[in-house]
Amino acid sequence: MHNENEEPKQPADVQQDQHTNETGREPPSNPATEESAKKRWWNIWKKWEKDEVDWWFASTGIPLLAATLGPLANVSSIAALVTPWRQQNIVNGEVLSDFDGIPFGDPRWCYWINVASLICGFLGNFFLLLNFTQRVRYIIALPATVILWYLSSGFLIAITICMQIYAPPVRPEQTYTQGFWYAIAAASFYTICSMILMVNMLGYFLGHYPENFALSDSQRTLILQTMAFFIWLAGGSAVFSKLEQQAGNESWRFADALYFCDVTILTVGFGDMAPTTNVTRGIVFPFSVGGIITLALIVSSLYTAVRELGDQKIVKKHVDRLRESVVERTVTNSFDLRRREHDAHRLIRRRQIGFPRISAPIEPRPFRKPMHESAHRASSLPHVTHALGIASSTRKLVLKEEKDRFEVMRKIQADTKRFKQWMALFWSTTTFLILWCIGALVFSITERETEGMTYFHALYFCYVSLLTIGYGDLTPKTNPGRCFFVIWSLIAVPTMTILVSNLGDTVVANFKKWSDRLADFTVLPKAGIWRAFLDKHPWLLLWLQRWTENRARKKRLKKGFEVADVRPENSGSGSSSLDNNGNVDLENPAEQQEGEEPTDDPEIAPETSITQALTSTSISRQLAHCIQKVSFDLRNPRKRYSYEEWVEFTRLIRATHPERLDRYLGISCNATDDENDEGLVNWDWLGEHSPLVSGNSESEWLMERLVESLVRLEKRKEVARRRFDIGALRSMERRATEIQDNR
């Protein structure tokens, strides 16, 4: 029998620390620790070498970024190839705009090197796609992509420099076209993609992740949708350019048609360029619908992929940090509390600089108490409401009951949910502001001579473009301005869409919550809302009771009644009312505590006990009943069970422990370590093996454990049937059911 006052066993390092405290001798210093601390100055990255989380962006984020920028670089390279790089803006003394300028041919060496660059760029993107689909090995495909993209960027950089040196446009009669600026953009994208993919290769060679890309289905879908979108964009640009030039509009070159298609798909619609023939106007119908749908799919997949990355890496790290912080400050009894306080004071006296370092957290006490008894005891959780806050000192938290630890973990989950939503809003807002301000800066430089655009005008223009309002009073009219607008808008407008989604999850959701709350009290009163409000504020309930009694005394005194404190027979219940209509029924708070506690959230309200109606049935039927119940809950991925429900599930799983079943049957099925760990229920709610931080939903976790319990039970039944030991089988069922009912 376990003694409640017995101090739990401590790990070896904690016991050694206790022995040091009793003898009063200083613990011997660790030379390896001191040597590693001395060497930290020359290897500041040493502490991150074994941390897989710090390489998550290299393993997942970099492939996604390269797969997104690669097709954009290919489209820019196409525009640089099919568009001449120089144009004449002054013809017969007439000054033409950049849109109406007359282009003239480039040197042959520039054209053919440009062709070689485009071929290398497409081959690099093709090998990257083969790498994603695992058609070619990582060690072959990724170096090929890096080398080809480096060659492509090198060719473009070489011909742009040579063009500026050996065949520059004669100013001010001549200028560079959009093709020249698209070449610079393509070279930049190829270089960036090659460099970040080299970082991905570095992580692979250091052994931080396997050779295949760790991408989910939604992330692979995002890559395919991005490639399809840029194919649609480039194909539409080629079609519009060809048809408009056949109609006599020679100014509709591929780069200009690319700008028109970009403005059309993003639904900005400045109106500075519009189709002039019936054929091109008819093509706008399917082209715009297909482009808008593809863009919407990309934004949705991008939002899902970013959320998955945040949940798997950033949010998980935040949960572990909160959980470890609470565990380090948690003790299970008063003995541990006094010992840790003594250790803390001893370390404060020993250390001259810095904060005291508390010893490692102890192992939690094994779950030995009957769970139905601890579930109904008074919780000590109100005394540890600061468990998630940042304490000014190392204040210890005494969490004896399992329910207290469960509630603390629920608070960590709630804090993590808020952290995830507001962190996503913070990053999307920051990205939006950066793109807005940098875009305004670039446009104020490129459009200053043509439209006299100041930085404020550029901010206005970028804002109108990001919100897809598109007044058309300000538009990019220069060749570098239009080239930059196409690339900038393809990045900024989806960012704006993600920002709106994050606003809906945070600001809009909170506004809806508070508006509904206000409506429940005012224009659309909800039944029982005042009763629940008074239950949450007992001091207000007590004040209203006293005010009601004083008001009743004054009325009796005014009417001439005796002032004696005459109470009705049922005054012990303390019930009263604020008015004769009975809008608010004030009952005794003590009586309320004895009854059922009201709850506002039906999801976490305690349901009917799972085994209340099944005490006479076999353990197999109870498992089947629980599996059926959990299977219905699988439809709701956000289903969260109350502590009482977890108690019932835990009893049922505990009743089918392999060693216990073998002991009842008097046999040995040679249970493996994996089988022993399948039904493990002695977890700590704040530990790393807690079902609340398993990564799966609670219903999925329970379904897996319940099915494993049923398999173990049926396996033992088969053994008993083969031995014709019906008595042992019935004894096992009876004893397992009795234990499950008595706990």
Average pLDDT over residues 39-48: 40
Min mean pLDDT across 71-75, 480-484, 625-629, 657-661 is at 657-661
* Residue ranges of E strands in 31-187: 86-88, 90-91, 94-95, 102-104, 174-176
pTM over 0.85: no
Segment (H or E) for 280: helix 278-309
285 neighbors 655 (Cβ within 8 angstroms): no
716: left (phi over 0), alpha (psi -120 to 50) or beta: alpha
Say whether 384 sits in a helix, a strand or coil. Answer: helix
714 neighbors 687 (Cβ within 8 angstroms): no
pLDDT, position 590: 40
Closest residue by Cα to residue 113 from 191, 187, 177, 178: 187
Cβ neighbours of residue 736 closer than 8 Å, sequence gap 6 or more: 619, 655, 656, 660, 661, 664
Selected residue with higher pLDDT from 417 and 51: 417
Closest residue by Cα to residue 178 from 264, 273, 251, 243: 251
Choose from 157-161, 325-329, 372-376 the range with maximum mean pLDDT.
157-161
Selected residue with higher pLDDT from 591 and 100: 100
The pLDDT of residue 116 is above 80: yes
Average pLDDT over the chain, rounded to an integer: 75
Min mean pLDDT across 116-120, 255-259, 440-444, 525-529 is at 525-529
Is the peptide bond preceding residue 370 cis, with omega within 30 degrees of 0?
no
Selected residue with higher pLDDT from 269 and 392: 269
Q: In terms of residues, how long is the chain?
A: 743
pLDDT band at 379 (very low <50, low <70, confident <90, very high): very low
pLDDT, position 128: 92
Selected residue with higher pLDDT from 368 and 493: 493
Distances (CA, A) of 395 to 217, 331, 380, 387, 412: 45, 11, 16, 9, 18
For residues 187 and 73, give the distance between their C-alpha atoms in angstroms, rounded to a whole number.
8
How many C-alpha atoms does 605 have within 13 Å on its Cβ side?
10
Measured over all CA atoms, what is the biggest interatomic distance in the chain, rounded to whole angstroms?
Answer: 115
Min mean pLDDT across 250-254, 342-346, 487-491 is at 342-346
The pLDDT of residue 236 is above 90: yes
Q: What is the pLDDT of residues 493-503, one digit of tens each?
A: 888 888 888 88
Q: What is the pLDDT of residues 170-202, one digit of tens each?
A: 988 899 999 999 999 999 999 999 999 999 999
pLDDT band at 114 (very low <50, low <70, confident <90, very high): very high
pLDDT band at 460 (very low <50, low <70, confident <90, very high): very high
Burial class (CB in 10 A: 0-12, 13-18, 19+), 439: buried
Closest residue by Cα to residue 89 from 164, 166, 170: 170
Q: Which residue has the tokens 């690099």?
A: 124
For residues 373 and 378, give the distance between their C-alpha atoms in angstroms, rounded to a whole number.
10
For residues 27 and 21, give the distance between their C-alpha atoms in angstroms, rounded to a whole number.
9
The identity of residue 66, as a single letter, is A
Can you say how many angstroms the Cα of residue 488 is from the centroid of all Cα atoms in its chain?
26
Selected residue with higher pLDDT from 110 and 588: 110
pLDDT band at 82 (very low <50, low <70, confident <90, very high): very high
The total of other beta-carbon atoms located within 10 Å of residue 700's CB is 17
Structural tokens at position 131: 């790498």
pLDDT band at 506 (very low <50, low <70, confident <90, very high): confident
pLDDT, position 630: 86
The pLDDT of residue 721 is above 90: no
For residues 542 and 590, give the distance between their C-alpha atoms in angstroms, rounded to a whole number.
11
Say whether 347 sits in a helix, a strand or coil. Answer: helix
Segment (H or E) for 398: strand 397-398
**DSSP string covering 231-253, please?**
HHHHHHHHHHHHHHHHTT-TT--
Min mean pLDDT across 272-286, 327-341, 416-430, 491-505 is at 327-341
Selected residue with higher pLDDT from 92 and 348: 92
170 neighbors 39 (Cβ within 8 angstroms): no
pLDDT, position 741: 56
Distances (CA, A) of 363 to 14, 22, 108, 451, 684: 10, 22, 75, 71, 9
Percent of the chain clearing pLDDT 90 (strictly above): 30
The pLDDT of residue 358 is above 60: no
For residues 506 and 496, give the distance between their C-alpha atoms in angstroms, rounded to a whole number.
15
Choose from 11-15, 613-617, 719-723, 735-739 the range with maximum mean pLDDT.
719-723
Min mean pLDDT across 2-11, 69-78, 216-225, 511-520 is at 2-11
Min mean pLDDT across 102-111, 654-663, 669-678 is at 669-678
The identity of residue 179, as a single letter, is G
Structural tokens at position 243: 């048809």
pLDDT, position 455: 95
pLDDT, position 13: 43
For residues 126 and 581, give the distance between their C-alpha atoms in angstroms, rounded to a whole number.
77
The pLDDT of residue 163 is above 50: yes
Average pLDDT over residues 341-348: 57
CATH 1.20.140.150 domain range(s) in the chain: 50-214
Class of domain 50-214: mainly alpha
Can you say how many angstroms the Cα of residue 315 is from the centroid of all Cα atoms in its chain?
6
pLDDT, position 612: 38
Choose from 211-225, 253-267, 369-383, 418-432 the range with maximum mean pLDDT.
253-267
Q: What is the pLDDT of residues 553-612, one digit of tens each?
A: 888 887 764 545 545 444 444 444 444 443 444 344 444 444 444 444 433 333 344 333
Burial class (CB in 10 A: 0-12, 13-18, 19+), 742: exposed
342 neighbors 18 (Cβ within 8 angstroms): no
pLDDT, position 390: 39
pLDDT band at 344 (very low <50, low <70, confident <90, very high): low
Selected residue with higher pLDDT from 593 and 687: 687
Selected residue with higher pLDDT from 407 and 172: 172
